Amino acid sequence: MKTQFFTLAFTGALIVATGPAAAQQMDPNMPGMAGTQVTKPTEAQGVGIVKAIDPAKGTITLQHQAITAIGWPAMTMSFKVASPNLLKVAKVGDKVKFTLRPAGMASTVTSIIVER
């Protein structure tokens, strides 16, 4: 009886101790499984309003809605643009749809479409 209790207690402790490690080793191709690795997209789309354009710095400031694909809340921030020509597409006050390469504060806008 003591052996069975010890075995049961040891097995329970082992399961608790390895639980998080085991969860992280689950197959990431199985949706909904705990511990799966989530890869951030290489591009994300957003919608916002142009607040400023700075051709000298090659930046555009956008007040954008939440971008759920990369977990960003709505905010206003400046972005580098992939091409200086993108700064000619819109003007301050325009509502735009845009694509960006997410990299935190170093994210780059790769396309801009003015909504009419």
HSE (side-chain half, CA atoms, 13 Å) at 26: 17
CATH number for 92: 2.40.50.320
The pLDDT score that the predictor gives to residue 100 is: 96
pLDDT at position 38 is: 62
pLDDT tens, 12-65?
Answer: 444 444 444 444 444 445 455 555 456 778 999 999 999 999 999 999 999 999
pLDDT digit string (tens) for 76-96? 999 999 999 999 999 999 999
Instruction: Tell whether 20 and 58 lie within a shared domain.
Output: no
Do 73 and 109 sit in the same domain of this protein?
yes
Question: What's the whole-model pTM score?
Answer: 0.67
User: Are both 21 and 54 inside the same structural domain?
Assistant: no
Count how many Cα atoms sit within 13 Å of the Cα of residue 57 in the half-sphere of its side chain: 10
Q: In the chain, how many domains are there?
A: 2
Q: Write out the residue range of the structural domain in which residue 12 sits.
A: 1-36
Same domain, 9 and 64: no
Residues 66, 99, single domain; the answer is yes
